[in-house]
Amino acid sequence: MAGQPPAEQILVASSLPTAEQSATFHKFMVCGNLFECPAKYKPIKPIGKGAYGVVCSARNELTGEKLAIKKIGNAFDNAIDARRTLREIRLLRHMSHENVITIKDILPPSSLDDFKDVYLVYELMDTDLHQIIRSSQGLSDEHCQYFIYQVLRGLKYIHSANILHRDLKPSNLLLNANCDLKICDFGLARTNNEQEFMTEYVVTRWYRAPELLLSCSEYTAAIDVWSVGCILGELLGRKPLFPGKDYIHQLNLITRVIGTPADADLCFISSDKARRYICSLPTCARVPFKDIYPNANLQAVDLMERMLVFEPGKRISVARALEHPYLASLHDINDEPSCPSVFAFPFDTDTLSDGAIRGMILEDVRAFNPEPTLPPLGHCATAAPIPNGPQPGGAMGIETPANSFDAAELGLKNCLRRPATEYDGLTFASHMVAGAVAGICEHVGMYPVDTIKTRMQALAHPGQRLHGSAVHRALAAVVKREGLRGLYGGVWAVAWSAGPAHALYFATYEAAKDVLGGNQAGHHPFASGAAGALATVVNDAVMTPADVVKQRLQVARSPYHGIADCVLRVTREEGISAFFRSYRTTLVMNVPFTALHFATYESAKKALGTEEEERLGVQLVAGGLAGGAAAGLTTPLDVVKTRLQLEGVNSATRYSSSAVVPTLRRIWQDEGARALWRGVQPRMLFHVPAAAICWGAYESMKRLLGSG
């Protein structure tokens, strides 16, 4: 193309962004969290959310490279988390290995005063081993070999740097479509000679070695080997090997499989109490792993048995595991490098101040961003340079050599199926689950109010009254005449339909909102309103028939005896079309209602709280405001819908047309303008708390599913 420099020049020019480019920041939302990054990083989609951060994929617009950005929010508020972040950065800067995740960048803050969040940029992988194991994707023995070999190859390098990972589990083993594996999450890693590491939480329980469960004062690299053995068992059986509920249950599960240890194998236990507990356990014989995994490769079983040994001193080492016959086709000692230098962390992290940690991380930021784009350190402590590890380059952004072993050469097919499309960090199915729960909570909880609204709107002329027009008097009249059951007539029709209808409703809304740009920071409320309108079309196709049944059972002295009787009689007497008579009207009413509702909800949330953290209270208030405003403004259309759905029931007025405008005109002429606002009070009384309940339940379920 004329005027465009060669590709080589583009790469060279963009390898070091200018100060102007680096100083430009933009904001976007990921899983409800506000990201503020240099403009060269364009977000692609959320990846996940955990206790220590939120991750999204992004593209470096200068290089075209796809990366993963992890935000650690309020990184300096908690001293333990701040030290964890600093240590992980220093560890990753020290290491450069094909099976260890590479840190590509640490994003500079827009200003020193705003430096409260830390953004780490990693190479982007496609998924993790946990997702593969729990999927229906078939895994061959060759896949298992290749995965375990790469874990051990990476561990050899890590251990040679005098580092213990201490949190190996399937979700910390990242994979790409070529089955290449990288070990990640070094937040709990420690050097082998640090004293304070013994007192902190280590290793997710299911992958925790016996010496950790028994609170041993010292432990070695053998703890990582035990974790690899558990991972191998999970690969072979497609489920966790020791899924303990607590540490006692965990120990019991272990001894039931590998057998009760002999007294000679307890010498590593320093606690008399722990030793007495082990001795008190019922004697269990070892269960051969070949019986647990009858279809597994016997060499894989043998390797696992050598890893899962109770006494850590008798456990196979990483170096010996690489030489095991199970991995013979992959093992090449000349291609299994050790770290050229031992990692040292010469800082007493227990006494480091917040300012000192902040200053050290700023020095790390400067190592990746040498251009003068950062403000002076000012009051922040100056940190020492990275001790004896690779400097910028290698693990810090320059491509490492291609793997000398390749999945295609080994005959392995692509081990990944692309995950379901995600919005806001959750899958379409997760949004359906959250929507279903929200719909049931809303409709069942608010059903009595909806009954009163229907009774008031069903009056065919102003002369009819329900013992007074006030809501509380109408409620009292229904209870007196029909009992509490009168308030719940037809509730099961709504309960059965609200779940699937709202599942489709919210899942469609989230998908449409993402397409329309509603997940970007600073988006116009129109995006949410338009997405809600599209979701209404899907929702109403399910809800309209149920709404017809519900309202015919809600009217006073209903001629129907339950849901089945209503469905059968309406079908026989009026035809299937009777259930959809008001569908067009329902859409005419619900599209503006939903557009107003969702746009108001998004606007209210922004007005009530910051984008960085959406609290439940903000969501409840915003939902209530949105529901009330939308309900009040669309009451005339709701009256028209109700009349069309009830025409002919108990001598209710029949209308010559099912169209909205003629019906609205007829009501105006026969009963006056006030009739179009009949039921506005109970309608708003319903929608304010109903919307609050619905949004609160929906957002809470999303958080629950996201954290899970």
Cα(379)–Cα(382) distance, integer angstroms: 9
Residue type at 694 in one-letter notation? C
Nearest to 555 by CA among 421, 648, 626: 648
What mean pLDDT comes out for the span 451-480? 61
Cα(410)–Cα(329) distance, integer angstroms: 9
- Between 450 and 394, residue with greater pLDDT: 450
Ordered DSSP codes for 156-187:
HHHHHTTEE-----GGGEEE-TT--EEE---T
Res. 480: pLDDT tops 50: yes
Nearest to 533 by CA among 601, 436, 599: 599
Cα(685)–Cα(624) distance, integer angstroms: 10
Task: Give the CATH number, domain containing residue 214.
Answer: 1.10.510.10
Cα(546)–Cα(569) distance, integer angstroms: 14
Nearest to 458 by CA among 663, 635, 678, 636: 678
Chosen domain end from 335, 354, 370: 335
Chosen domain end from 105, 125, 145: 125
- Of the candidate ranges 248-262, 468-482, 524-538, the one whose mean pLDDT is the lowest: 468-482
For residue 173, list its beta bridge partners. Answer: 183
176 and 146 together in one domain: yes
Confidence bin at 373 (pLDDT 50/70/90): low
167 is catalytic: yes
For residue 369, list its beta bridge partners. Answer: none
What mean pLDDT comes out for the span 524-532? 77
User: What is the distance in angstroms between the CA of the first residue and the CA of the last residue of the chain?
Assistant: 49
Is 72 a domain residue?
yes
Number of domains within the chain = 3
Is 379 a domain residue?
no
**Residue partners of 77: CB distance under 8 A and separation at least 6:** 116
Output the pTM of the full model.
Answer: 0.58
Annotate 668-689 with b (16+ C-beta within 10 A) or e (fewer).
eeebeeebbebbbbbbbbbbbb
Tokens 């009056």 correspond to 459
Res. 9: pLDDT tops 70: no
- Between 641 and 287, residue with greater pLDDT: 287
Query: What does the pLDDT look like over 337-363, one tens digit per residue?
Result: 999 999 887 665 566 777 888 889 999
Instruction: Retrieve residue 497's tokens.
Output: 């339909």
Residues 411/148, Cβ–Cβ less than 8 Å: no
Task: Give the CATH number, domain containing residue 114.
Answer: 3.30.200.20
Query: SS3 of 27, please?
Result: strand
81 and 209 together in one domain: no
Ordered DSSP codes for 610-638:
-TT---HHHHHHHHHHHHHHHHHHTHHHH
For β-strands 118-123 and 163-164, DSSP reports them as unpaired
User: Which helix (H) or strand (E) is 359 found in, with range?
Assistant: helix 354-368
Cα(583)–Cα(539) distance, integer angstroms: 11
What mean pLDDT comes out for the span 210-217? 80
Res. 123: pLDDT tops 70: yes
Cα(403)–Cα(401) distance, integer angstroms: 6
pLDDT > 70 in the chain, percent: 77
Query: What does the pLDDT read at residue 67?
Result: 95
H helices of 222-343, where? 222-237, 247-258, 272-280, 289-292, 298-307, 318-322
H helices of 521-562, where? 525-554
588 and 474 together in one domain: yes
Query: What does the pLDDT read at residue 98?
Result: 96
Residues 556/455, Cβ–Cβ less than 8 Å: yes
177 and 36 together in one domain: no
- Supply angle C-alpha 627, 630, 632, rounded to 5: 100
Res. 202: pLDDT tops 70: no
Cα(629)–Cα(81) distance, integer angstroms: 43
Cα(695)–Cα(708) distance, integer angstroms: 20
- Looking at residue 128, the DSSP 8-state letter turns out to be E
Q: At what angle do helices 680-707 and 635-646 cross, to 10 degrees?
A: 100
Counting Cβ atoms within 10 Å, is residue 700 exposed (0-12), middle (13-18) or buried (19+)?
middle
**Sheet arrangement for strand 53-60:** 41-50, 53-60, 66-72, 118-123, 103-106
Res. 568: pLDDT tops 50: yes
Cα(395)–Cα(227) distance, integer angstroms: 25
Res. 442: pLDDT tops 90: no
Query: What does the pLDDT look like over 151-199, one tens digit per residue?
Result: 999 999 999 999 999 899 999 999 998 999 999 988 888 887 654 544 4
Res. 700: pLDDT tops 70: yes
189 and 49 together in one domain: no
For β-strands 66-72 and 53-60, DSSP reports them as antiparallel
Res. 454: pLDDT tops 90: no
Nearest to 679 by CA among 622, 628, 636, 641: 636
Is 2 a domain residue?
no
Query: What does the pLDDT read at residue 647?
Result: 61
Is 419 a domain residue?
no
Query: What does the pLDDT look like over 650-693, one tens digit per residue?
Result: 445 555 555 667 777 888 778 888 888 887 887 787 788 888 88
For β-strands 127-128 and 181-183, DSSP reports them as unpaired
The binding site comprises 71
135 and 105 together in one domain: no
Cα(43)–Cα(66) distance, integer angstroms: 10
Query: What does the pLDDT read at residue 391?
Result: 34
Q: How far is CA 464 from CA 389, 468, 472, 601, 673, in A?
A: 86, 9, 17, 37, 16
Query: What does the pLDDT read at residue 612?
Result: 42
Res. 696: pLDDT tops 60: yes
Instruction: Retrieve residue 214's tokens.
Output: 């028994």
68 and 111 together in one domain: yes
Most confident region among 345-354, 377-386, 588-597 by mean pLDDT = 588-597
Task: Give the CATH number, domain containing residue 495.
Answer: 1.50.40.10
Res. 386: pLDDT tops 50: no
Nearest to 144 by CA among 240, 234, 222, 242: 234
**Residue partners of 390: CB distance under 8 A and separation at least 6:** 93, 94, 95, 96, 396
For residue 70, list its beta bridge partners. Answer: 55, 120
211 and 306 together in one domain: yes
- The active-site residue, picked from 81, 105, 128, 167, is 167
What mean pLDDT, rounded, does the chain reach? 78
Most confident region among 1-5, 305-309, 364-368, 526-530 by mean pLDDT = 305-309
Is 659 a domain residue?
yes
User: Which helix (H) or strand (E) is 461 found in, with range?
Assistant: none
106 and 64 together in one domain: yes
Query: SS3 of 115, please?
Result: coil
Cα(419)–Cα(442) distance, integer angstroms: 31
H helices of 7-119, where? 7-15, 19-23, 79-94
Is 395 a domain residue?
no
Is 684 a domain residue?
yes
Q: Which domain holds residue 118?
A: 7-125
Question: How many Cα atoms sit within 13 Å of 210 on the Cβ side?
Answer: 30
The binding site for ATP comprises 71
pLDDT > 90 in the chain, percent: 27
Residues 104/121, Cβ–Cβ less than 8 Å: yes
Residues 68/44, Cβ–Cβ less than 8 Å: no
- Between 615 and 419, residue with greater pLDDT: 615
Cα(187)–Cα(201) distance, integer angstroms: 11
Query: What does the pLDDT read at residue 342?
Result: 92
Instruction: Retrieve residue 360's tokens.
Output: 């050290």
Annotate 9-34 with b (16+ C-beta within 10 A) or e (fewer).
eeeeebeebeeebbeebbebbbbbbb
Annotate 508-547 with b (16+ C-beta within 10 A) or e (fewer).
bbbbbbbebebbeeebebebbbbbbbbbbebbbebbbbbb
76 and 156 together in one domain: no
430 and 567 together in one domain: yes
Nearest to 241 by CA among 286, 205, 265, 216: 205
Res. 216: pLDDT tops 50: yes
Query: SS3 of 21, please?
Result: helix
- Of the candidate ranges 128-132, 341-345, 499-503, the one whose mean pLDDT is the lowest: 499-503
C-alpha Rg value of the chain to the nearest Å:
32
Is 365 a domain residue?
no
56 and 172 together in one domain: no
Chosen domain end from 320, 335, 350: 335
Instruction: Retrieve residue 110's tokens.
Output: 């827009």
